[in-house]
A and B are shown apart, each in its own frame.
Chain A
Amino acid sequence: MGFKLDSVSLKKQDKAILKDINLDIPIGSVFVLIGPSGSGKSSLLRLLNRLDEPTAGRILYKDQPIEFYPVQELRKEVGMLFQNPVMVGGTVKDNIALGLKLQKKDLSYEKVVGLLKRVGLEKEIIDKDASVLSGGQKQRVALARVLANDPKVLLLDEPTSALDPGAVLQVKETLIEQAKNGLTLIWVTHDMDIASEVATNGALLVSGKVVVSGNQEELFHGNNQIAQTFFKGELKESE
């Protein structure tokens, strides 16, 4: 098992964000987290690399409590891509080499070129100022930066929602490539087309609770009433 969430709850300023979540996220899956905005999808994702801690329950990763792993090691193995890619100052290469630089290591030119290729970018941009790239390019540089840490799992927090339509397609395809290479993807999205296209497994969250979870068939074609209302587009905001 990749991740196992056992009665996980999260409160912030006395507001219940997640309520008694039980989930299994298998290794090698593309696990989508869907639900109305404010349903707790991103909050759940942030628990998996310990950017936040649950207020109750426990999270297992590879059958060990998540606290068992040194947090730095966990975050290298469980990488994260955010909605808005942040480029730190410098070139594309500087950005991609950042994770290793934090560990006082160097990333060779060849490896940077390899990573650029892996995310579908031309090697000509390697010395370009990262801040002038387009949104889609930035997101793919951010992905290459995460991949440089050689992660086994990618946490994706709406990685395409801030991009223009053309870039959405490129980033989505690049991410699917990573899944084919054996990475586990845990993908928060509000885009049902993406969700149904990429998911092998997933869960629907409404108001901080898991309404339905399982493989693609169980998620999208089960007979849960709330789920069907949501897929019809009649369930917009969480209470």
Chain B
Amino acid sequence: MNNQISNLTFILSWSFIGIAMMITLWQGLKMDKDILISAIRAFLQLFVTGYLLQFVFNAESYYLTAAVLLFMTIVAGRDASKRGKGLPHAFQIVTLSIGLGEIVTLGILLLIKVISFSPSEAIPLSGMILGNSMIAASLALERLKSSMAQRKNEVEALLALGATPRQASSNALRETLRAAIIPTVDRLKTMGIVSLPGMMSGLILAGQAPTEAVKYQIIVMFMLTLTVSVTSTAIGLFAYKGYFTNYWGLKEEVIAVGSNLDKAKK
């Protein structure tokens, strides 16, 4: 494996896309255009990102690094909050929760000196943190929505008994956190047996000894477990309030919007 990819090799890599398009044409899937456009998009986006990162890495500025991280967090928040349609302040809640996951995780990484706050270290790791944070946020929002809809009668029965909104939604919140955290925990269990994770593969391809690559991968998996826990807990604790009126009734319009049960009925 060469560490430098020649231009010719790079151009020939489009043959992957070409063959994939031919297969879909042959199978009559009408996806060839879609594949081509998506591939060109990915190509352009990654190239622009590559050049931007090169610029930021060369600048070596704390402020610029922090600004890039903030921008990444906001984009992640915007994307994940689409799952919270109908929930009041979904964008703010999701961005704040993802931001918390990022700050806590990056903070510990800096504190125990896994990385320094240099752009070439903080930005790629934050990419991983935010990517996982986003998935956890989406899972948490989806599950909170379906749990609250499913448990509507229970929540109201508890409210009528004198429960606070927090008490009335405690079962729904527990389900939400479990749903968001379980995939990460499951991934921990099979790590290194079923899959060689991306970061480790990348390091090995780049010439690192597998024993060194493993250390990085372990730290990354541990850190992502924390990220996912922080983000989904924050989502649950910030978002459940959106389901209740200020006199502790259920907001039916929030329960109804986009819940799976509701869709199933229609």
Contacts of B159 in A (CB 8 A): 51, 75
Give the residue name and chain of the A residue nearest to B252 (CB): A12
A108 contacts B by Cβ under 8 Å? no
Beta-carbon contact of B248 and A71 below 8 Å = yes
Answer yes or no: B160 CB below 8 A from chain A CBs.
yes
In the bound complex, CA of A102 to CA of B162 (Å): 8
Q: How far is the CA of A149 from the CA of B253 in the complex (A)?
A: 30
Q: Say whether B156 contacts A53, CB under 8 Å.
A: no
A binding-site residues for B, Cβ under 8 Å: 12-13, 49-53, 67, 71-73, 75-76, 79-80, 82, 84-86, 88, 98-99, 102-103, 142, 145-146, 149
A13: chain B residues at CB < 8 Å are 253
Contacts of B156 in A (CB 8 A): 51, 82
B158 sits at the interface (CB 8 A): yes
Nearest B residue (CB) for A102: B163
Within 8 A of A (CB), among B234-264: 245, 247-250, 252-253
Determine if B161 is an interface residue (Cβ-Cβ < 8 Å): yes
**B76 nearest CB across to chain A (Å):** 33
Interchain Cβ contacts under 8 Å between A and B, 17 examples:
A13-B253, A49-B160, A50-B249, A52-B249, A67-B247, A72-B164, A75-B159, A75-B162, A80-B160, A82-B153, A84-B153, A86-B153, A86-B157, A88-B158, A99-B162, A102-B167, A149-B161
Count chain B residues whose beta carbon lies closer than 8 angstroms to a beta carbon of A: 20
Chain B residues 155-178 with CB under 8 Å of chain A are 156-164, 167, 171
Q: Is B60 an interface residue (CB 8 A)?
A: no
Residues of B within 8 A of A88 (CB): 154, 158, 171
A86 in contact with B161 (CB, 8 Å): no
Q: Are A86 and B247 in contact (CB under 8 A)?
A: no
CB-CB under 8 A for A51 and B167, given A75-B159, A103-B162, A149-B161 = no
Question: Interface residues, chain B, CB within 8 Å of chain A?
Answer: 153-154, 156-164, 167, 171, 245, 247-250, 252-253
User: Nearest residue in A to B167 (C-beta to C-beta)?
Assistant: A102
Nearest residue, chain B, Cβ from A50: B247
Q: How far is the CB of B29 from chain A (nearest CB, A)?
A: 42
A85 surroundings in chain B (CB, below 8 A):
157
CA distance A12 to B256 in the complex (A): 13
Which of B161, B164, B252 has a CB less than 8 Å from the CB of A145? B161
* Closest B residue, CB atoms, query A49: B160
Q: How far is the CA of A75 from the CA of B208 in the complex (A)?
A: 65
Identify the closest chain B residue to A88 (Cβ): B154
How far is it, in angstroms, between the C-alpha of A80 and the C-alpha of B167 when the chains are bound?
17
- Determine whether the beta carbon of B157 is less than 8 Å from that of A51: no
Lowest 4 A-B CB distances belong to which pairs?
A80-B160, A99-B161, A86-B157, A76-B162
A72 close to B154 (CB less than 8 A): no
* Complex Cα–Cα for A86 and B163 (A): 15
Q: By the criterion CB–CB under 8 Å, are B161 and A75 in contact?
A: yes
Q: Which of B157, B159, B162, B252 has the most CB of A within 10 A?
A: B162
Which residues from B are CB-within-8-Å of A75? 159-162
